[in-house]
Amino acid sequence: MTIEAFLLGAIATMSLTAALFFLRFWRRTHDSLFLSFAVAFFIEGLNRCAILLTVHPNEGSPWIYIVRLFAFLIILAAILRKNYGRNA
């Protein structure tokens, strides 16, 4: 469990760091794609922290995958809006 906790913490840290980078890019460009990526990585980082803080972590829980699906759908919607939206 120790190595799993370490890896979950590393992944959570990297996800939150990526969210901060995309937030910084959004502040420079005001492109909604960067904001969507920042939100998705922030959700993913919080999801990993929640797994880490549970008493009996279970990666196979459907709730974990629903949160991940939500984060990926945010990214997908941002890409589709960027390519096919009114600003395309």
Domain residues for 68? 2-84
pLDDT band at 87 (very low <50, low <70, confident <90, very high): low
Burial 8-42 (b: 16+ CB within 10 A, else e): beebbeebbebbeebbebbeeeeeebbbbbbbbbb
How many structural domains does the chain have? 1
pLDDT band at 18 (very low <50, low <70, confident <90, very high): very high
Q: How far apart are CA 40 and CA 74, in angstroms?
A: 6
pLDDT per position as a tens digit, 37-69? 999 999 999 999 998 888 776 777 788 899 999
- pLDDT above 90 coverage of the chain, percent: 70
